[in-house]
């Protein structure tokens, strides 16, 4: 899910740099935009949705009913027919998205977009997603899953057989001006490879490993520990409250012991810091299909027992927080066997991924489920000691595994690369001149081998090992009870997700699935010495030992990326970097408030909770900010906005605008200005103490140093880790982090209150520049805006084309670590970066009474009526009726089409 651009930067992080498309569009505009953007060209790709079409391979006709928003429900006599038709319909609405995605997952972007994508392709080929997906298809997946994948691919290819160029998508017409590219046939492996991209975006703490390495150059171990405080178990309860793993598996609600994990930090050199910064940039430049990484990013899901609801059956809510992209990553769809049987067991509706069969999140006739990222640490960086003829492991030189990769380039010479692998995984530091020196001065102990010309860096990651996650998708889609649901989750290897569950019999449950490594030495928080066998992985946590829960006494289950279990009750390490539980704590509090004194929760209450805009950090800091004595009357005027504020970040709130500006400046002054340049926003230049003042005692007190990280990935990002950082030092008014210096190196702020006053002044003048002098015109929504950008021409094309393809802005409420998580990065600005990518509330008492909404719309075709027709409702927090029964689907149907053999 590529991130929208931050308004304050020309950042390149997590986007496709489609220079070729930009050039194509320039050519188009040069010969006359009007001639190209004709009504007929734009409408050429709009799909047929009524009448009858031939779909070879069907055993019998499939009926496709679409509602007014273009959301289809498919009816077929066999499972293969359903998935064949699903492939056809996905291709009708979203093939450009599918095609770009498969070129990304296979490291073949250069074939479409030219030489500017070669470096990205090199890195993706090094990871080898496509090879792993092929092995999964060949060796791991069940015969039934393969059959469904082939049927899906046949459906896609049936559509391709009759469509090309602008009839597929207007983007192909633009691409045709500089490239004679023609889409090739879809394959089952194209669908499987999508799971690798999904896992990459949810891979946990690789960025934290890199960041901690770079922080160690400037800060000592205690200071770094300040920036990564322990999880607040007493305040923010984990998902599963009580329970432990035993030799027989996981036992909910029982006590147990645990093994503690201690983080250690070594001092890194300037060389390593720079090299790790290069590694971070290389990884961040890979297109993200699901969203940015960061401590504030996550998702919400929760389920409430029927004992606590007005419907007397469970209610389940889910809203995954992903990047704001156009079209949305989700595609709503129903898949219905005309007669449900063992041979055709599917009666499912929900949110799918175009390019992959099945439903990812949703419900069937018996159960509903939701997903949030578990955050398990499933990827480690390893330093590798390279010898002339191999690499060192356990005192011996081992040969690299190698393979040759040919990268075809649309507008240049093809390039051949050699990929090297170690026992730990592919050598990712081979992929650029800068990365070739990663580890040259790495922080290692005295027992490390002579570094010589430095260490290479390899990546071990569970998604680079074949698994059967695709089996899990189909298994969950047809599960009828919690036992079948858990059995299907057993195959859900990567990415590791929190699965919440409810069924029509009244049960609620939770399962933590995933392939989560057990480590020997080390905890995965820093790059490990690859030559030492003690740091190798030692298998995986057994599935039966992973936490789960069924019908807990409290009557509800909340997952919002917080810790899964209390570490004292669990003997395995899931991660050293969980989310800090701000959203889960708030959701639990809202539920408890509603049910106290016998109250009940309604479906509309669930929807209202999804829209909660409360700021926990504002509630913590505002009383202190109001105590600051302000001399400047204009700053005092802004301070007064905070009086009687309820801490809700509504779009029209001037107080929310001012507080968030103050919060951003508190973080900048106390932490951001002290960060190494590799973590600060690109182009942000400061005067900082020289790296080695002792070497030149007569030199200047400060030197000019400019930030190097793209703004949407910079630190401090303002996520709830930073809430905890500030909370932990708040009562220590003279803490070292509150002290600042000016550009001359002289002390500026000496304590907390002086820094707060400084931040309040800076915020006042920042908002004056942004929103005007008159505070009566200020509002949070004017700062906090969402743009939906077409992910190709819409990010790199000329302004007029972006205007044609993009949509927005929308002024949004919500904010960082709010339940309504319209995320922004405090280091870079206020623009919305990630959002609740969809919302759903499932009513297990009456599935037709459930509600859903997508970020954009069903169609990926610009100017189609369903391109962004759901966005305004989404921005308002509205849900649409979710037709599921045959009667409801028929009543909602606007268009009916028959696909015939």
What is the chain's Cα-based Rg?
A: 27
Tabulate helix, strand, coil % of the chain (nearest 5).
35, 20, 40
**882-890 average pLDDT score:** 98
Degrees, nearest 5: CA angle 592-593-596: 75
User: For residue range 500-546, what is the model confidence (pLDDT) as tens digits?
Assistant: 999 999 999 999 999 999 998 988 888 899 999 999 999 999 999 99
Share the mean pLDDT of the chain: 87
Pairing mode, strands 315-323 and 330-337 = unpaired
> 402-426: per-residue pLDDT in tens?
999 999 999 889 999 999 999 999 9
* pLDDT of 22: 40
Residue-level pLDDT at 347: 98
Given this model, what pLDDT does residue 778 score? Answer: 98
Cα torsion 331, 337, 342, 343 to 10°: value is -100
Average pLDDT over residues 658-677: 96
173 — pLDDT class (breaks 50, 70, 90): confident
| Residue bearing the bigger pLDDT, 117 or 139 | 139
CB distance 429 to 456 below 8 Å: yes
Q: What is the pLDDT of residue 259?
A: 30
Whether the per-residue pLDDT at 254 is higher than 70: the answer is: no
pLDDT tens profile 673-716: 999 988 999 889 998 887 777 767 777 888 888 998 888 889 99
Share of the chain above pLDDT 70, in %: 85
Confirm if 329 and 835 have CB atoms less than 8 A apart: no
Confidence bin at 444 (pLDDT 50/70/90): very low
Residue 287 corresponds to which tokens in the numbers above? 């297109």
* Both structure tokens of 891: 């009543």
| Stretch 624-649: mean pLDDT | 97
pLDDT at 4: 32
For residues 767-798, b (16+ Cβ closer than 10 Å) or e, as one string? Answer: beeebeeebeebbbbbbbbbbbbbbbbbbbbe
Highest-confidence segment of 162-171, 284-293, 439-448: 162-171
Segment 719-726 mean pLDDT: 96
- Indicate the helix (H) or strand (E) that contains 132: helix 129-135
Has residue 209 got a pLDDT over 70?
yes
Range with the poorest average pLDDT among 48-52, 330-334, 592-596, 833-837: 833-837
Say what the pLDDT of residue 825 is: 94
The tokens describing 838, both together, are 């969809």
pLDDT on residue 802: 57
| Residues 493, 497, 500: CA angle, nearest 5 degrees | 120
pLDDT at residue 260 is higher than 70: no
Q: Region 32-41: what's the mean pLDDT?
A: 56
Lowest mean pLDDT among 266-275, 434-443, 625-634, 846-855: 434-443
Residue 678's pLDDT is: 86
Q: Average pLDDT, stretch 116-129?
A: 91
Cβ–Cβ < 8 Å for 368, 306: no
User: What is the average per-residue pLDDT within 655-679?
Assistant: 96
First CA to last CA distance, the chain: 36
pLDDT, tens only, 88-101: 999 999 999 999 99
Q: Reply yes or no on whether the pLDDT at 293 is more than 70.
A: no
| Rounded Cα distance, 56 and 218, in Å | 64
Reported confidence tier of residue 452, pLDDT bands at 50, 70, 90? very low
Q: 204-213, 421-430, 649-658, 746-755: lowest mean pLDDT where?
A: 204-213
Contact 62, 81 (CB under 8 A): yes
Average pLDDT value for residue range 733-761: 95
Q: What is the rounded CA–CA span in Å between residue 722 and residue 290?
A: 23
Render pLDDT for 38-70 as a digit per residue (tens, 0 to 9): 667 778 889 999 999 999 999 999 999 999 999
> What is the per-residue pLDDT for 21?
41
Q: How confident is the model at residue 298 (pLDDT cuts 50, 70, 90)?
A: confident
Q: Which pair of structure tokens corresponds to residue 490? A: 């057993």
- Across the range 68-85, mean pLDDT stands at 98
Is the pLDDT reported for residue 755 higher than 90? yes
pLDDT at 671 over 70: yes
Residue 5 is predicted with a pLDDT of: 30
Of all residues in the chain, the percent with pLDDT exceeding 90 is: 68
At residue 165, does pLDDT exceed 70? yes
Q: Name which of 487, 514, 519, 474 is nearest 498 in CA terms.
A: 514
Say if residue 8's pLDDT is above 50. Answer: no
Mean pLDDT of 231-239: 95
Strands (E), 428-559: 455-461, 497-503, 508-511, 517-519, 528-529, 537-540, 548-550, 556-559
Out of 306-320, 433-447, 454-468, 618-632, pick the least confident.
433-447
Between 834 and 775, residue with greater pLDDT: 775
Q: Identify the band that residue 262 occupies on the pLDDT scale cut at 50, 70 and 90.
A: very low
- Give the pLDDT band (50/70/90) at residue 9: very low
What is the per-residue pLDDT for 285? 61
Please name the residue ranges forming H helices in 596-643. Answer: 603-610, 616-627, 633-639
The candidate with the shortest Cα–Cα distance to 613, out of 784, 814, 779, is 814
pLDDT score for 432: 56
């Amino acid at each position: 899910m590529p991130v929208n651009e931050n308004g304050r930067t020309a950042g390149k992080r997590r986007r496709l740099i489609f220079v070729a498309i930009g050039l194509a569009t320039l050519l188009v505009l040069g010969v006359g935009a009007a001639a190209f953007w004709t009504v007929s060209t734009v409408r050429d790709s709009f799909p047929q949705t009524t009448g009858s079409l031939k779909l070879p391979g069907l055993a019998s006709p499939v009926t496709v009913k679409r509602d007014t928003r273009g959301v289809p429900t498919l009816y077929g006599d066999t499972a293969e027919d359903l998935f064949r038709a699903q492939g056809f319909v996905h291709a009708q609405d979203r093939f450009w998205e599918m095609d770009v995605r498969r070129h990304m997952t296979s490291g073949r972007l250069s074939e479409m977009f030219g030489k500017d994508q070669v470096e990205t392709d090199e890195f993706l080929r090094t990871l080898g997603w496509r090879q792993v997906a092929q092995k999964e298809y060949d060796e791991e997946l069940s015969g039934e899953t393969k059959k469904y994948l082939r049927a899906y691919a046949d459906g896609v290819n049936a559509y391709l057989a009759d469509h090309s160029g602008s009839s597929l998508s207007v983007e192909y017409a633009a691409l045709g001006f500089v490239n004679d590219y023609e889409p090739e046939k879809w394959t089952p492996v194209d669908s499987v490879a999508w799971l690798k991209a999904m896992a990459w975006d949810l891979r946990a703490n690789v960025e934290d490993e890199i960041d901690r390495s770079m922080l160690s150059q400037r800060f000592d171990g205690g200071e770094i520990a300040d920036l990564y405080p322990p999880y607040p178990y007493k305040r923010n309860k984990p998902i599963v409250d009580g329970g432990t793993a035993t030799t027989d598996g996981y036992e909910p609600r029982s006590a147990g012991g645990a093994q503690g994990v201690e983080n250690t930090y070594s001092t890194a050199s300037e060389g390593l810091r720079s090299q790790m910064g290069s590694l971070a940039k290389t990884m961040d430049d890979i297109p993200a299909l699901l969203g940015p990484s960061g401590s504030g990013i996550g998702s919400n899901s929760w389920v409430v027992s029927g004992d606590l609801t007005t419907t007397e059956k469970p209610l389940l809510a889910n809203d995954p927080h992903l990047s704001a992209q156009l079209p949305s990553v989700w595609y709503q769809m129903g898949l219905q066997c005309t007669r449900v049987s063992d041979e055709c067991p599917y009666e499912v509706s929900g949110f799918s991924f175009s390019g992959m069969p099945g439903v990812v999140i949703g419900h069937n006739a018996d159960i509903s489920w939701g997903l949030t990222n578990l955050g398990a640490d499933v990827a480690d960086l390893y330093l590798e000691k390279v010898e002339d003829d191999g690499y060192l492991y356990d005192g011996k030189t081992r040969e690299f595994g190698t393979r040759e990769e040919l990268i075809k380039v649309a507008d240049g010479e093809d390039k051949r690369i050699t990929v090297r692998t170690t026992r730990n995984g592919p050598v990712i530091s081979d992929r650029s001149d800068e990365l070739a020196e990663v580890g040259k001065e790495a922080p290692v102990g005295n027992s490390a081998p002579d570094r010589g010309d430095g260490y290479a860096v390899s990546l071990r990651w569970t998604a680079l090992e074949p698994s059967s996650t695709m089996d899990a998708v189909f298994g969950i889609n047809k599960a009828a009870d919690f036992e079948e649901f858990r059995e299907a989750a057993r195959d859900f290897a990567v990415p590791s997700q929190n699965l919440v569950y409810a069924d029509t019999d009244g049960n609620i449950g939770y399962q933590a699935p995933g392939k989560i490594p057990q480590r020997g030495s080390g905890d995965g928080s820093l790059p490990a010495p690859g030559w030492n066998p003690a740091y190798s992985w030692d298998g995986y946590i057994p599935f039966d030992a992973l936490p789960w829960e069924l019908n807990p006494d409290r009557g509800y289950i909340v997952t919002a990326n917080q810790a899964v279990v209390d570490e004292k009750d669990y003997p395995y390490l899931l991660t050293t970097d969980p989310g800090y539980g701000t959203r889960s704590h708030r959701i639990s509090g809202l539920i408890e408030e509603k049910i106290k004194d016998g109250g009940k929760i309604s479906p509309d209450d669930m929807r209202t909770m999804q829209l909660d805009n409360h700021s926990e950090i504002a509630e913590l800091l505002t009383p202190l900010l109001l105590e600051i004595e302000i001399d400047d009357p204009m700053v005092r005027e802004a301070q007064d906005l905070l009086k009687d504020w309820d801490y809700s970040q509504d779009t029209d709130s001037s107080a929310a605008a001012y507080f968030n500006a103050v919060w951003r400046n508190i973080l900048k002054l106390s932490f951001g200005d002290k960060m190494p340049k590799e973590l600060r926003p690109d182009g942000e230049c400061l005067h900082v103490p020289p790296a080695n003042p002792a070497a030149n005692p007569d030199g200047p007190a400060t030197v000019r140093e400019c930030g190097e990280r793209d703004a949407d990935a910079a630190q401090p990002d303002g996520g709830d880790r930073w809430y905890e950082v500030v909370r932990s030092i708040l009562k220590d008014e003279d803490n070292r982090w509150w002290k600042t210096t000016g550009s001359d190196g002289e002390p500026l702020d000496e304590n907390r209150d002086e820094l707060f006053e400084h931040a309040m002044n800076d915020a006042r003048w920042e908002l004056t520049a942004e929103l005007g002098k008159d505070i009566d015109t200020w509002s949070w929504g004017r700062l906090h805006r969402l743009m939906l950008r077409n992910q190709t021409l819409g990010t790199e094309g000329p302004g007029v084309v972006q205007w044609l393809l993009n949509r927005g802005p929308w002024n949004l409420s919500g904010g960082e670590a709010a339940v309504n998580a319209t995320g922004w990065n405090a280091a870079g600005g206020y623009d919305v970066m990630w959002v609740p990518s969809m919302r759903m509330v499932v009513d297990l008492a009456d599935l037709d009474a459930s509600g859903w909404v997508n970020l954009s719309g069903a169609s990926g075709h610009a100017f189609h009526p369903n391109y962004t027709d759901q966005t305004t409702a989404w921005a308002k927090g509205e849900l649409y009726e979710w037709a599921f029964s045959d009667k409801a689907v028929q009543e909602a149907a606007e268009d009916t089409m028959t696909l015939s053999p």
